Amino acid sequence: MFENENLTGKYSQPVLGIISLFPEMFIPWMSLGVLSKVFSSPEICNFSVNLINLRDFGEGPHKIVDGRPCGGGPGMVLRADVLDNAMQTFLEKQGSDSLIFCLSPRGTPWNESQCVFWHEQLFPEGRLAKSCLFICGRYEGIDERLLSCYDPIYLSVGDFILTGGEVALMAILESILRKIPQVLGDSNSALQDSFGQYKKGLLDHPVYTRPLDFKGLQVPEILFSGHHQQIESFREKQSLEVTRCYRPDIYTS
């Protein structure tokens, strides 16, 4: 198994497992930016990460993990037996009651509601509640028999296709993990983001900083008024207008 103990923060159970043909893709994601706190600070998070290289469970000297689709057709299919061996290695250590997720177009496209739901399910009080295993598919897909045996929870980032589930999983996990207290510099940041609780599902208002004059465009004067209620009212109106203009599908008057 592909693991880096310095980056995965092995301090206590439970474990967040990831099965991938390219587990090294997760290393820079785990080690850069604000999310690096999640994987290196035991005082913030209580879980370890187990990056599992599917190739380690491949068959024969060439570590084969896929095969031609039965009935013909293009591409290759991830083998059920190979993936099952990788999954069992994790489940035997972490428990058969671990939650199993699979990145797949079968999942409902990810949104803030799902993010809030799974954050509350997986990280109540900011701590991982139980071990979970994420499967990153590749090629034409995964042998259906494997999926039938485990009946995983399907996750999707949208109605389009990627070459693998790794990028999609990073996006989903990042949206969840940034809600953990102490990960962001200000605990209200996540609540004030677009789609956040304070925005009532709308886009965030426009934001400004120095210089005050940029190519003849000025920062709105009201932001310097010192009247917090007026500023908040202005920002709420701006949030509505931005949402109406750019996302009329979620706009509410």
Bridge partner residues of 59 (DSSP): 64
d(CA 26, CA 129): 22
Give me 142's structure tokens: 């995964």
111-136: burial string, b at 16+ Cβ within 10 Å, e else:
eeebbbebbeebbeeeebeebbbbbb
Task: Please name the residue ranges forming H helices in the chain.
Answer: 5-8, 26-31, 36-40, 80-94, 112-122, 144-150, 166-177, 189-192, 228-246
- The whole-angstrom distance between residue 128's C-alpha and the CA centroid of its chain comes to 14
Q: Catalytic one among 56, 140, 174, 236? A: 140
Q: Catalytic one among 79, 138, 178, 235? A: 178
- Asked if the peptide bond before residue 206 counts as cis, ω within 30 degrees of 0, the response is no
Q: Catalytic one among 3, 56, 105, 204? A: 105
* Residues 38 and 4: beta-carbon distance below 8 Å: no
Whether 23 is a known active-site residue: answer no
Whether 178 is a known active-site residue: answer yes
d(CA 90, CA 131): 10
Whether 109 is a known active-site residue: answer no
Whether 174 is a known active-site residue: answer no
Q: Catalytic one among 66, 143, 166, 193? A: 193
User: Nearest-CA neighbor of 129 among 102, 165, 99?
Assistant: 99
Catalytic residues: 105, 140, 178, 193
